[in-house]
Structure 1
């Protein structure tokens, strides 16, 4: 494959993103549903690919677009390899630019939020593994690792689903990535749609502490355009461009984090090969991206200790992450196989419906009883994240708490520092598939059931009992 082909494939992703943004600005339904441009761009690439345009062309009597649609097979090959690389950049930057809090500080702020988030994530494994044991394996003949698809697609999102492609292939189930990407798409769209429905329900029923019935997103917000009077800098220049381009410096920090992650992963694989590879191999199949996150923590720890000039800008890191995630999503969706989804439609439908039912049910039944104050604003963020990506949760929290007066945002952020290294693309998500293959789905089901029971018990019996005293202060806090 020539360098020109790789360059053209990347340029086409940029063109597709711009076209998708124009669609978002003009298409009212996409605005109301807050569909990200990367999802729209991925859908456009999918429509122009072999499974849609190629199928239509074949039906009309020509096989010209059967292999790759309007794109070449080499371009689609480049796209298919991008998610596994870009997700490492996204995860490496999760902690860069953030002060690493101590355990007591994080626990005090995010304890209830952590228990609710852990409930949602572990519950997705319990439901998925039960479906695998009772229906998917005996009825449809699918491998047991399909029990992890709800958490991978919903809690993990498109990035995790795309990044685990090699792992699925290693275990002889390459269709798993397409199913996971389909789950991620259903989860993201449903999370936004159902989230807005729940917010409207909460406003009408008086469940929201801040949002009133008259408060609705502006037209500009729905279009994804920032009004001129509200525009702010996307990042801050912390070093002079004459010495080094600030964007390049921050990319270098991310590169160091990813390389550290690769060294750690290689070391764990080396130790495994020496001591227990003959019995079981786990680290051989663990992808790089959750370990790259550990690399990011190491880099940030060094920065906290030695960076007296505070040259790391959190917003700059977020811009690089956002760019990587947009490119990741559009390339992953653009190479999604609709034929795989069609061939496994009933299992896919069962997983999606059960996953949606769990997230909605947990929000309505458990969040009010586990979160001691501002349960709606705090719970809606975790609900959105459990069905899409972190951005979905942030969007829903911003709608429910437009002035950021509740503790939802800081609690959500601290919860991320504890939960993200394990679920939603972290170590547990990465290890789940090799663990299921090595030991079967039942041991992981038992472990996740214990985690679910623990998180629900602590949420209800420890934090839930504080709700009476905390709830009394909510109206007063909302008027400040």
Structure 2
């Protein structure tokens, strides 16, 4: 692979993103669904790839586009390698640039949110593993690893699904990546569509505390454009560019966090090889990105102690994360194999239906009883995250609480510090496949069922009764 081919593949991602943004500005349906430009761009990349454009061209009599579609095989090769690299940058920055509260403080502020989040995450494993054991394995001959695809695709999203590509290959189930990416796409679209439908239902039935029927997003908000009078700086200039470009400084911090994660992974793999690899082998299958997240935590602890001038800007970190995630989604969707989805269509459909049904049921029946106040605004964020990653949850909370008057945002944010290290691409998500390979699906199912029961008991019997619920909460 030549440097020119790599550079051209990266430039094409920028072009696709720009075209997708123009489509978002003009396409009313995309505006109503609040579809991110990266998802639209990923769809464009997929349509012009080998499984769609290439097959159409072959049917018309030319095999020129069979391997790489309109993009070419070289671009497809680069894109297929990008998700596993970029997801480490995204996770390395999860905690950089913000104070890390202690567990007691975070639990006090967001205890109900944490229990609800764990009910979503552990329940996805429970229903997924049960479906794999009772139906997908006996009927369709699929491995028990399919039971983890709901949480990987829904909570983890495209980045996590693509980042686990090597893990799926090492597990002898390379189709898992494409199925997980398909689940991520279904989850994202369902999260946005179902979320908007539920918000409209909540407004009509009086379940929302802040949003009224007249408080609808403006035209520019639907287009994804910030009004001139509301525009703010995307990041803060904390160092003089004459000394170092601020973007380069923050990229360097992320790079160190990723390197720390890689050193941790190498160390754990070496320790495992020396002590217990003959009987149990877990870290050989663990990807880099959850360790990169730990590297980011280590970096932030050091920064809290030495950064007296506060040169680390959280917004700049988020801009790098955002770009990495956009590029990741386009490259992951652009290299998605539709043939794998078609070959496993019925199992894929069953997984999607079971996962979506479970998540919506948790929101409708458990959120009002586990969250002591503002259950709709707080629960809609967790529903969005449980179906289509954190960004979807934030979008839905923004729609349900446009003035940020409820405790939904701070509770959701503090919950992430406890929740993200484990689910949605964290240690549990990364270790699920190795654990199933080493011990089988039943032990993981038992552990997740116990955690689910504990979450329900704590949420329903303690947090849900901690204070009287608002009147709107009683209508479920």
TM bracket, shorter-chain basis: over 0.9
1:471 CA drift (Å): 2.9
**Does 1:336 pair with 2:336?**
yes
* Equivalent pair of 2:65/2:72 in contact (CA under 8 Å): no
Residue in 1 that maps onto 2:441: 441
Counterparts of 1:333 and 1:26 in 2: how far apart (Å)? 22
Counterparts of 2:201 and 2:287 in 1: how far apart (Å)? 40
Residue in 1 that maps onto 2:25: 25
**Does 1:60 pair with 2:60?**
yes
* Equivalent pair of 2:206/2:472 in contact (CA under 8 Å): no
Superposition pairs of residues 4-153 of structure 1, within 5 angstroms: 4-153=4-153
Would the alpha carbon gap of residues 109 and 57 (structure 1) be closer, same or farther in structure 2, given more than 3 Å must change? Answer: same
Superposition pairs of residues 161-200 of structure 1, within 5 angstroms: 161-200=161-200
Give secondary structure in 2 for the equivalent of 1:244.
Answer: coil
**Does 1:462 pair with 2:462?**
yes
Counterparts of 1:172 and 1:74 in 2: how far apart (Å)? 25
1:410-448 deviation digits (Å, cap 9, x = unpaired): 000000000000000000000000110111111100000
1:472 CA drift (Å): 7.2
Counterparts of 1:107 and 1:53 in 2: how far apart (Å)? 51
Give secondary structure in 2 for the equivalent of 1:138.
Answer: helix
1:358-402 deviation digits (Å, cap 9, x = unpaired): 110000000000000100000000000000121100000000000
Count of matched residue pairs: 473
Counterparts of 2:396 and 2:472 in 1: how far apart (Å)? 23
Residue in 2 that maps onto 1:273: 273
Q: Once structures 1 and 2 are overlaid, which stretch shifts more, 60-69 or 244-253?
A: 60-69
* Equivalent pair of 1:80/1:331 in contact (CA under 8 Å): yes
Residue in 2 that maps onto 1:389: 389
* Equivalent pair of 1:83/1:329 in contact (CA under 8 Å): yes
Residue in 2 that maps onto 1:256: 256
Counterparts of 2:46 and 2:242 in 1: how far apart (Å)? 42
Structure 1 unaligned spans of 5+:
475-480
Residue in 1 that maps onto 2:303: 303
**Does 1:471 pair with 2:470?**
yes
Give secondary structure in 1 for the equivalent of 2:273.
Answer: helix
1:54 CA drift (Å): 1.1
Counterparts of 1:224 and 1:422 in 2: how far apart (Å)? 31
* Equivalent pair of 1:371/1:467 in contact (CA under 8 Å): no
* Equivalent pair of 2:167/2:285 in contact (CA under 8 Å): yes
Counterparts of 1:4 and 1:420 in 2: how far apart (Å)? 37
Counterparts of 1:104 and 1:287 in 2: how far apart (Å)? 30
1:62 CA drift (Å): 2.0
Counterparts of 1:179 and 1:472 in 2: how far apart (Å)? 42
Residue in 1 that maps onto 2:377: 377
Residue in 1 that maps onto 2:227: 227
Counterparts of 1:345 and 1:473 in 2: how far apart (Å)? 41
* Equivalent pair of 2:207/2:472 in contact (CA under 8 Å): no
Would the alpha carbon gap of residues 242 and 148 (structure 1) be closer, same or farther in structure 2, given more than 3 Å must change? Answer: same
Structure 2 unaligned spans of 5+:
none
- After superposition, the CA RMSD in angstroms is 1.0
Give secondary structure in 1 for the equivalent of 2:341.
Answer: helix
Counterparts of 1:304 and 1:63 in 2: how far apart (Å)? 57
1:467 CA drift (Å): 3.9
Counterparts of 2:48 and 2:327 in 1: how far apart (Å)? 17
* Equivalent pair of 1:94/1:293 in contact (CA under 8 Å): yes
Give secondary structure in 1 for the equivalent of 2:203.
Answer: helix
Using the size of structure 2 for normalisation, the TM-score is: 0.98
* Equivalent pair of 1:188/1:387 in contact (CA under 8 Å): yes
Residue in 2 that maps onto 1:478: none
1:61 CA drift (Å): 2.1
Counterparts of 1:104 and 1:283 in 2: how far apart (Å)? 30
1:186 CA drift (Å): 0.3
